[in-house]
Structure 1
Amino acid sequence: MASSKSCCFPIFLYSLVLLSMGATTSAQSLEVAAPLVRPPLSLPPGRRTVTCTLRQFPSCFQVRARCPVGCPTSCFMDCTLCKPVCNCDRPGAVCQDPRFIGGDGITFYFHGQRDRDFCLVTDRHLHINAHFIGKRVGANNRDFTWVQSLGVLFPGHHLFVGARKTAAWDDAIDRLELAFDGEPIKLPPAEGAEWHSQTAPHISLTRTRDANGVAVGVVAQFAINAVVVPITEEDSKRHGYNITDEDCFAHLDLVFTFYNLTDDVHGILGQTYRKNNPSRARMDVAVPVLGGEKEFATSGIFSTDCLAARFQAGGAAAVEKMGKEHENMGTPRTTMQCHSRRASGYGMACTR
């Protein structure tokens, strides 16, 4: 028995040593295999919040809402609908190279020419011209063009909205240029900052963001939402613009709303607001294009000498009359809502 116990005891000690080593090894293994602390995922930026800043819509004034998912950072508050709308996806939009959505809901392009002015809207008491900037690449037979500025004429007054030329783009630096009756307008760099004319109180400008966004309102006549945007590197590669570091071709993305157009309205965009007006854009091509450069070309940003001109200058009395129409302001000529699931915008669906 004694010899048996003495034989088993070393084996017992050996087993304890092995168990101890195994426990240590297991502990080390567990320590090595502990889950790694991963850095947080990079989440997409949140949706912008937009506000109705036009006082002539009291039921919607100062109402805030978040941009739709389809355009999380590029929308505006449509005060007539009191809901956020993607900047370039509704009637009255003029965006990109430049792509128009007419009052009839039809999407079309008008290329024009760089460094020229064209009539967008011309009516009895309203005339809007656009100055096109652009460049020609390679052997292309046309210019790539964008709307750089607007000249807006209405009885007794004229308004300028433009994008300053810039090389390197910074969202925080304001590139808006504004003037009323030839005098520069200085808006404080804060969303919601307002400017009102002392001589025409029915006219107002409001910042829609801290920099590069403005809403223009003329009671009973029109509203314009304008945002200054650059041609991004991604845009340049996708479309072959060949944009260099010298100029990012800052331009305006625009949305127009009209209240008192006549059925004689004309212009690249204006004619699409006529009742029962067949579209002149070529619809038998992949990208509908509107011609008629000679008909819409004008000699300057505030000139009314295009062949399609309808503008009658009027005077202060006409402006005062329109201001008094505030309470009886007509509904927008179009209340269609449009959307597209394609980035190109073709196949836009519109409903009244």
Structure 2
Amino acid sequence: MARFSLWRIMAIAILLFVMVEAQPYKPKQVKCKDKNGYPMCRGSKFTCPAACPRSCMADCELCRAVCSCDKGGAVCQDPRFIGGDGITFYFHGRKDKDFCLLSDSNLHINAHFIGRRNPEMKRDFTWVQSILVLFEDHQLYIRAQKTSTWDDAEDHLAISFDSEPIVLPREEDAKWQTSALSIVRSSSANAITVEAEGKFKITASVVPVTEEESRVHNYGIKADDCFAHLELGFKFYSLTSHVHGVLGQTYREGYVSRVKMSSDMPIMSGEHKFLASGLYATDCAVARFVRGPPAGTAGQLSELADITCSSGVSGRGIICKK
């Protein structure tokens, strides 16, 4: 009788665990924070749409939540781009390689791709793990930290500015700022908005590849890595007519897209033009940037992946360890 009761208790426990795991992900909420307009919507909270439960933004004009990856300048998923011309296309690149997303005379953005090889295909499944933004004499580094299992309550963002790690308090609207840049948490974990006045605005969220996504697209994601990656939104304020890069070229006046729009997956080809020798290199074939990062950047940035910071304060003086 005792053995039967024990097995019964174990069976009930397993059933409860499965039921909890099967519960749908609870979408996050976003708030309209526009301070200069839309008074009827300002301060209102909206639930993210089912299509993007983790990465949406409040559209104060429409007074509702919209998927961040459906706005112009978006770089999301396997990377799906929405260009400055409004056209959606894919650029797969290659796993463990770095590509030039944008290059202009005073702004350069590289992205590091991670991915998996599907033996049944001629390309890698890829996602953007980190970006490096060079402007003036500054450098901004944003990375999605690797994790085996996903926990929404854990922050998976690594950020540095001019080679110094930045830690923001774990609360929405927490802010770090210098004269050149501001970084604000969009939520208590895994989402930030970065802005350099008059130059650019970047939204960055860390999201995993879910088991359902892996099953549907046959990614083959294993239990030891959920391929945490960045979903990005870019807005630019002062690009020149010579801007280039996977995304940058789509902002040129008169640009005509060469992707095959009749395809189910319009793909941007010519990856050799956008390939860089490293995340912090400005040597892609279409580079326009006239300044490089300060000496010693390569080693400093490559070490950031192994740095753990534990502090409740922001800015200088945080304590980090490897």
Do they superpose with TM above 0.5? yes
134, 152, 156: which one aligns with 1:175 = 156
SS of aligned partner of 1:127: strand
8 Å contact kept, 2:30–2:58: no
- 1:19-77 CA distances to partner (integer Å, 9 max, x unpaired)? xxxxxxxxxxxxxxxxxxxxxxx998466123438xxx655797444146464553124
- Residues 143-154 of structure 1 aligned to structure 2 (within 5 Å): 143-154=124-135
Aligned in 2, Cα 1:208/1:137: closer, same or farther, shift over 3 Å? same
Q: Which residue of 2 aligns with 1:245?
A: 223
Q: Give me the CA root mean square deviation.
A: 2.5
Which structure 1 residue ranges, 5 or more long, are not aligned? Answer: 1-41, 316-352
Give the whole-Å Cα distance in 1 for the aligned partners of 2:249 and 2:278. Answer: 21
Give the whole-Å Cα distance in 1 for the aligned partners of 2:227 and 2:197. Answer: 32
Which structure 2 residue ranges, 5 or more long, are not aligned? Answer: 1-22, 294-322
127, 130, 133: which one aligns with 2:114 = 133
- Residues 1-150 of structure 1 aligned to structure 2 (within 5 Å): 45=26, 48-52=29-33, 58-59=36-37, 63-67=43-47, 69=49, 71=52, 73-77=54-58, 84-150=65-131
Aligned in 2, Cα 1:195/1:136: closer, same or farther, shift over 3 Å? same
Give the whole-Å Cα distance in 1 for the aligned partners of 2:24 and 2:267. Answer: 39
Give the whole-Å Cα distance in 2 for the aligned partners of 1:113 and 1:267. Answer: 16
8 Å contact kept, 1:150–1:301: yes
Q: Which residue of 1 aligns with 2:238?
A: 260
State the TM-score, normalized to the length of structure 2.
0.77
Give the whole-Å Cα distance in 2 for the aligned partners of 1:211 and 1:155. Answer: 29
State the TM-score, normalized to the length of structure 1.
0.71
Aligned-residue identity in percent:
51
8 Å contact kept, 1:151–1:301: yes
Give the whole-Å Cα distance in 1 for the aligned partners of 2:43 and 2:106. Answer: 31
8 Å contact kept, 2:118–2:124: yes
Shift, 1:140, TM fit: 1.8
Greater CA radius of gyration, 1 or 2?
1
SS of aligned partner of 2:219: coil
Give the whole-Å Cα distance in 1 for the aligned partners of 2:204 and 2:127. Answer: 13
Give the whole-Å Cα distance in 1 for the aligned partners of 2:63 and 2:175. Answer: 19
8 Å contact kept, 2:49–2:56: no
SS of aligned partner of 1:88: helix
Aligned in 2, Cα 1:215/1:80: closer, same or farther, shift over 3 Å? farther
Q: Which residue of 2 aligns with 1:307?
A: 285
8 Å contact kept, 1:117–1:131: yes
Aligned in 2, Cα 1:174/1:148: closer, same or farther, shift over 3 Å? same
Question: What amino acid is aligned across from residue 139 of structure 2 in structure 1?
Answer: H
- 1:288-340 CA distances to partner (integer Å, 9 max, x unpaired)? 0001111000011111110101112299xxxxxxxxxxxxxxxxxxxxxxxxx
Question: What amino acid is aligned across from residue 205 of structure 2 in structure 1?
Answer: V
